[in-house]
Homo-oligomer: A and B are copies of this chain.
Amino acid sequence: MAQHNAFYAQSGGVTAVINASACGVIEACREHGDRIGKVYAGHNGIIGALTEDLIDVSQESDEAIAALRYTPGGAFGSCRYKLKDIETHRAQYERLIEVFKAHDIRYFFYNGGGDSADTCLKVSQLSEKLGYPLTAIHVPKTVDNDLPITDNSPGFGSVAKYIATSTLEASLDVASMCATSTKVFVLEVMGRHAGWIAAAGALAGEGEGEPPHLVIFPEVAFDREAVMARVDEAVKRYGYCVIVVSEGARYEDGTFLADAGNTDAFGHRQLGGVAPTLAGMIKQDLGYKYHWAVADYLQRAARHLASKTDVEQAYAVGREAVKLALAGQNAMMPAIKRVSESPYEWRIEAAPLAEVANQEKFMPKEYIREDGFGITSACRQYLSPLIQGEDFPPFENGLPKVAKLRLAKVEKRLTEFTL
């Protein structure tokens, strides 16, 4: 069969394992040299395609590509950029065809979350609507675990492991200090709309009194009085209280806690500050000494503590994407299917992209404990397999090794294009 080139790009917030998916895509493409020529990576996602800003992946050694498996961040640059639909912005799509033609690109792999799946779905219409023979496959990733159909999203398991581990470790710290010092510790985690990451913090403990003593979800309206009662109870009963709070924690009326009038010295509203806000409330209402942490990017970049399950799944969806493309399965996404609970087993199935794009998967109600401050055993059963196994990167000189890519740019053949 004829040989054509492939395009691969990363989109949206990156994860500890998105490069493992890149590794899967690129390695699988290299194994099919009869049908896939070069892989061109878009510099900064779809923007790279639009602006003909392409990286010639064929110039990277096999070793460098293998190293992507243990390198966090997005090696080729990511973007937050949504395509409008073909009817509204036809010129962008014609430009994509122009670029794809100029570089003989017939396979399109887009690695991202829900918004990016929408972009990929739109690109997949190039063949049907504009007659350009392209096969577009979406490669799933998101720390938020909010993609539908797939049992879980690659990227989430590693954040979950990091947050569960950090909660466990910091809790041991607070427990040792609480007699004469810090009594309350608040850890803020990502998840603006869904509480999946906060729920993972609850994996740190299970028995009576084991931290975290409270998990605060975006799905449960924040009730200051109820929260304070729980905090006070934990301090009185166990000597200390550990709280995992989602950045998306909000009041009944939808106002984010972090937005509730919190300003810096210059009158600016502070973002991502739910932990200090909550800690301040606790100090005011209960008078307890507190510490707080905001993990922010640390949690989604922590490849040093990735879940082995997550790395394997991220790599597998990358490989599977190539298989789907070669089978001509346009507008699909490899999804993870949980085959067995105990022992945990999974396989990959193809899901139609139209059913994935722009859908958010929230925490099922039965995953949140009735009192709203913890997870149920059903949730624990769902989450636990996702953090199993360690896949430490190699270390060099005391630090994790990361891929060193050449990132050689492909010579441009077209005129400039303004986004």
Binding site for B on A (CB under 8 A): 10, 13-14, 16, 43-44, 47, 71-81, 161, 164-166, 168-177, 179-181, 185, 187, 203-204, 260-266, 268, 270, 272-273, 275-277, 280-281, 283-284, 291-298, 300-305, 307, 384, 387-390, 392, 395, 397-400, 402
With beta carbons under 8 angstroms apart, the residue of B77, B181, B280, B303 that contacts A176 is: B77
In the complex, which residues of chain B have a beta carbon less than 8 angstroms from the beta carbon of A161? 398-399
Residue pair B292, A296 in contact (C-beta under 8 Å): yes
Expressed in whole angstroms, the Cα–Cα distance for A171 and B298 within the complex equals 9
Residue pair A400, B179 in contact (C-beta under 8 Å): no
Residue pair A203, B398 in contact (C-beta under 8 Å): yes
With beta carbons under 8 angstroms apart, the residue of B44, B169, B181 that contacts A301 is: B169
Residue pair B173, A301 in contact (C-beta under 8 Å): yes
* Number of identical protomers: 2
Residue pair A398, B179 in contact (C-beta under 8 Å): no
A395 and B400 in contact, given A297-B174, A300-B173, A304-B305 (Cβ under 8 angstroms): no
With beta carbons under 8 angstroms apart, the residue of B14, B179, B203 that contacts A47 is: B179
Residue pair B170, A298 in contact (C-beta under 8 Å): yes
**A166 nearest CB neighbor, chain B only:** B298
In the complex, which residues of chain B have a beta carbon less than 8 angstroms from the beta carbon of A265? 260-262, 277, 280
Expressed in whole angstroms, the Cα–Cα distance for A13 and B172 within the complex equals 12
Residue pair A296, B291 in contact (C-beta under 8 Å): yes
Residue pair B389, A176 in contact (C-beta under 8 Å): no
A297 and B179 in contact, given A203-B399, A397-B384, A398-B388 (Cβ under 8 angstroms): no
Q: How near does chain B come to A209, taking the closest CB pair, in angstroms? A: 14
Residue pair B304, A297 in contact (C-beta under 8 Å): no
Q: How near does chain B come to A219, taking the closest CB pair, in angstroms? A: 23
A392 and B392 in contact, given A81-B180, A176-B77, A384-B398 (Cβ under 8 angstroms): yes
Residue pair B72, A398 in contact (C-beta under 8 Å): no
**A395 nearest CB neighbor, chain B only:** B390
Residue pair B179, A79 in contact (C-beta under 8 Å): yes
Identify which of A81, A187, A296, A305 gathers the most chain B CB atoms within 10 Å of its CB. A296
**A164 nearest CB neighbor, chain B only:** B399
Q: How near does chain B come to A116, taking the closest CB pair, in angstroms? A: 13
A293 and B291 in contact, given A77-B179, A276-B264 (Cβ under 8 angstroms): no
In the complex, which residues of chain B have a beta carbon less than 8 angstroms from the beta carbon of A260? 265
What are 24 inter-chain pairs, A to B, with CB distance below 8 A?
Answer: A44-B180, A47-B180, A73-B176, A75-B176, A80-B177, A80-B181, A161-B398, A169-B301, A169-B400, A170-B298, A172-B402, A204-B399, A262-B264, A265-B277, A265-B280, A266-B281, A266-B284, A270-B276, A276-B276, A298-B298, A305-B305, A307-B398, A384-B397, A388-B398
